[in-house]
Amino acid sequence: MSDTGREWQQQSLRDVRALLDKEEAERRGQKRTFWILAFSLLPLIGLLAVVVLKGPLAAAGMSDSARVACESSVWARKSSEREREIRAANPGIAPGEVGKLLRTEARQLESAAAQECRKGGALK
């Protein structure tokens, strides 16, 4: 084999070795990234497990039946207040029209009741 052929062969071997070294380093980096990601997600997984097992309202100290009772009473109070406001602003309005207006605002009233119960203000 000639010197030129031998040099070409050695250069090829060096190139292949450099490529293999790069690939091995990349593989080590991927493993390290996986473990960093896994350990960084552990607290999130733990928190999620607590929320699933205990429930967000259990942490606040309110059972489902107490929450439903609270939201129902607050919703009834807010709904009747809104009905009085509608009747005061529109004297002589038909009861069906009042019902339509209340139905359009039902989601807002429900979310306001849920928010008030979450704060705990309605339970006292």
Lowest-pLDDT choice from 20-24, 36-40, 87-91: 36-40
pLDDT value at position 31?
83
pLDDT value at position 90?
87
Radius of gyration of the chain (CA): 34
Extract the tokens encoding 77: 């109070």
Task: Tell whether the model's pLDDT for residue 107 goes beyond 70.
Answer: yes
- Highest average pLDDT, of 3-17, 23-37, 65-79, 89-103, comes from 3-17
In the chain, the percentage of residues whose pLDDT exceeds 70 is 90
Q: Report yes or no on whether pTM surpasses 0.75.
A: no
Domain boundaries, the chain: 1-54, 60-119
| Residue 105 contacts residue 82 (beta carbons within 8 Å) | yes
